[in-house]
Amino acid sequence: MFIYITRALPDVAAEMLARALPGARIELNPHDRNLNRAELIEAASGCDALLCTLADPLDATLIEDLGPQLKVIATCAVGYNNIDLQAAKNRGIAVCNTPGVLTDATAEVAVGLMLACARRFVEGDSLTRQGLFSGWAPLLHRGHGVYGKTVGIVGAGRIGKRVAATMKHGFGCRILYHSREDHVDWENELDAEKVELGELLARSDFVSLHCPLTPDTHHLLDADMLKLMKPTAVLVNTARGPVVDEQALVQALRERRIAAAGLDVYEGEPALAPGLSELPNVILLPHIGSATIETRDEMARMCARAAIAVLTGQEPPHRVA
For 206, phi then psi, to 5°, come to -130, 135
Rounded to 5°, angle at Cα 299 from 293 and 300: 90
| Annotated catalytic residue, options 120, 178, 240, 301 | 240
| Annotated catalytic residue, options 15, 187, 189, 269 | 269
Q: Is 287 a catalytic residue?
A: yes
Buried b (16+ CB within 10 A) or exposed e, 209-239: bbbebeeebeebbeeebbebbbeebbbbbbb
Q: Is 269 a catalytic residue?
A: yes
| Annotated catalytic residue, options 218, 219, 287, 319 | 287
In 49-102, beta strands by DSSP E: 49-52, 72-75, 94-96
Residue 284's nearest CA partner among 267, 297, 300, 307 is: 267
Q: Is 219 a catalytic residue?
A: no
83 secondary structure, DSSP code: B
CA distances, 50 to each of 4, 8, 102, 169, 275 (Å)? 5, 13, 21, 41, 37
Q: What is the DSSP string of 215-255?
A: TTTTTSB-HHHHTTS-TT-EEEE-S-GGGB-HHHHHHHHHT
- The span from the CA of 79 to the CA of 11, in Å, is 22
- The span from the CA of 115 to the CA of 102, in Å, is 20
**Residues catalogued as catalytic:** 240, 269, 287
